[in-house]
Amino acid sequence: MAFPETGTIWMNGSLVAWKDATIHIASHVIHYGSSVFEGARCYDTPNGPACFRLDAHLRRLYNSAKIYRMEYQASLEELRDAVLDTIRANGFRACYIRPLVYRGYGAPGVNPLGSPVEAAILVWEWGKYLGPEALEKGVDVRVSSWRRSAPDTFPTLAKSSANYASGQLIKMEALIEGYTEGIALDTFGYVSEGSGENLFLVRDGVLYTPPLQSSVLPGITRDSILTLARDLGYPVREEVIPREALYIADELFFVGTAAEITPIRSVDRIVIGEGRCGPVTKRLQQAFFDTINGVLPDRRHWLTYVYPDRGSADKTTQEDAVTR
Ligand code: PPE
């Protein structure tokens, strides 16, 4: 899918037309990948458009910026308002949300400290990330020949654009060889994650996902699935996973803001389980979509309404605020 090329983008405090949201070619970020970003989604709920775990995403953005010593001048609350303003300006009921904090036009050289920290927020309507049928039928993936970065190289707790140099290699390799996505191993050879998704494995009714030490992004969807799975009574384990455990799993699935809950039907052409969306994956998909679509009561205050005064209370994320 191509970008829509219409609509409004928020840049450093102003709403500007899509085509005017430009930066200089000498900007530090273009040369050295000096930016951190987020991907969140707004869903069309019975109480109007609502962003799913927006504060958790923004908190991760601020943490990513902190790790890279590029703190943005505006507060999280100001950026949250800016996200809601941008969605309203575009009139979307459901959309993808991409806040970015980046080093702009300043001084030449690797040293980022002479380039200003700037921010932008883009929103667009984005359909099914891994294909229109992926959520029902599942996707075919391979184990990537590219490893995730070692813990003392690029910090994976930061959602830095630079990490996506690795993601691009994993993704291109998979696509060129006829797979939808790649699963990367960490530098020790254990399962890490997809180019843009975390991963879950089901075996004998137990849910497994690689721990943060396996060079994974601490995904908001991963956290939501761990929570929903516990609610449903599934035992959950954050555990180091050997590659071959993928092949003998009963079920496997990707989770992420863009990918939502996408079953994996084969790995390296080995069929996983029945080769379709398994019962545990299905149940978690249902719980997830009922939560994000506002069908189930929002017990954890995961939804931030875009128009809070139109019929629903302002449900900003109190739980997220305490877990900072
Ligand atoms: N791992 C990686 C490497 C990753 O990029 C994502 C999100 C996740 C895990 C899941 O995190 P979360 O969205 O918080 O549950 N990838 C985003 C970017 C995709 C893109 O192509 O751009 C996303 O899903 O929005």
Mean pLDDT of 231-251: 98
| Residue 318 maps to a domain | no
170 and 248 assigned to the same domain: yes
Closest C-alpha to 225, from 203, 200, 204 = 200
Same domain, 56 and 26: yes
Spatial distance between the Cα atoms of 324 and 315, rounded to a whole number of angstroms: 17
If you average pLDDT over residues 294-314, what whole number do you get? 85
Mutate to test the pocket of ligand 1, among 156, 257, 302 (most ligand atoms within 8 A of CB): 257
| 146 and 268, same domain (yes or no) | yes
Write down the pLDDT at residue 311: 53
- For residue 51, give the nearest of 322, 320, 238 by alpha carbon: 320
Q: Across the chain, what does the average pLDDT equal?
A: 94
**Domain count along the chain:** 2
Q: Is 158 in the pocket of ligand 1 (CB under 6 A)?
A: no
pLDDT at res. 317: 45
The answer on 111 and 86 residing in a single domain is: yes
Q: Are residues 35 and 120 in the same domain?
A: yes
Could you identify the atom of ligand 1 that is nearest to the CA of residue 221? 15
321 pLDDT more than 90: no
In a domain, 315, yes or no: no
Tens digits of residue pLDDT in 3-30: 888 899 999 999 999 999 999 999 999 9
pLDDT in tens, 243-274: 999 999 999 999 999 999 999 999 999 999 99
Do 32 and 103 belong together in one domain?
yes
Q: Are residues 69 and 139 in the same domain?
A: no
- DSSP states of 177-230: TT-SEEEEE-TTSBEEEESS-EEEEEETTEEEE--GGGT----HHHHHHHHHHH
Domain annotation covers residue 258: yes
Could you tell me the CATH number of the domain that includes residue 74? 3.30.470.10
Catalytic-residue membership of 159? yes
Q: What is the pLDDT of residue 83?
A: 98
Does 148 share its domain with 193?
A: yes
Quote the tokens at residue 142. 């391979």
**Gap from CA of 197 to ligand 1 centroid (Å):** 5
In a domain, 323, yes or no: no
Determine which one of 159, 171, 282, 315 is catalytic.
159
Answer whether residue 20 is part of any domain. yes
102/144 same-domain check:
no
User: Where does residue 203 rank: exposed (0-12), middle (13-18), buried (19+ CB within 10 A)?
Assistant: middle
Say whether both 27 and 91 belong to one domain.
yes
160 strand-pairing partners: 36
Confidence of residue 322 (pLDDT cuts 50, 70, 90): very low
CA distance 54 to 80: 8
Half-sphere exposure (Cβ direction) of 183: Cα atoms closer than 13 Å:
31
Q: In Å, how far are 35, 222, 231, 302 from 67, measured between CA atoms?
A: 11, 21, 33, 25
Let me know whether 261 and 303 are in one domain: no
* Average pLDDT estimate for 88-110: 98
Asked if residue 217 has its Cβ within 6 Å of ligand 1, the reply is yes
Share of the chain above pLDDT 90, in %: 92
Q: Per mean pLDDT, which range of 129-138, 254-263, 296-305, 313-322 is the poorest?
A: 313-322
Asked whether 198 lines ligand 1 (CB < 6 A), one says yes
The confidence band for 155, taking pLDDT boundaries of 50, 70 and 90, is very high
Same-domain status, 176 and 67: no
8 A C-beta contact, residue 49 and residue 41: no
Residues 6+ apart with CB under 8 A from 100: 35, 36, 37, 38, 119, 120, 121, 122
Name which residue sits closest to atom 4 of ligand 1, judged by CA: 196
The residue behind tokens 């992926």 is 134
**Domain presence at residue 33:** yes
CB distance 140 to ligand 1 below 6 Å: no
For a ligand 1 pocket test, name from 35, 59, 181, 217 the mutation site with the most ligand atoms within 8 angstroms of its C-beta.
217
C-alpha to C-alpha distance for 143 and 236, rounded to whole angstroms: 23
Determine if ligand 1 sits within 6 Å of the CB of residue 119. Answer: no
Q: Rounded distance, CA 13 to CA 5, Å? A: 20
Q: Is 263 in the pocket of ligand 1 (CB under 6 A)?
A: no
> Which residue range forms the structural domain that includes residue 87?
8-126+296-310
Report yes or no on 40 lying in a domain: yes
> Separation of 194 CA from ligand 1 center, angstroms?
9
Give the residue, 263 or 311, on which the prediction is more confident: 263
Is residue 1 a part of any domain in this protein?
Answer: no
Residue type, 239: E
Answer yes or no: is the C-beta of 224 below 6 A from any ligand 1 atom: no
Q: How far apart are the CA of 222 and the centre of ligand 1, in A?
A: 10
Mapped onto helix, strand or coil, the DSSP state of residue 6 is coil
Q: Residue 319 pLDDT > 60, yes or no? A: no
Q: In this structure, what CATH number is given to the domain that contains residue 195?
A: 3.20.10.10
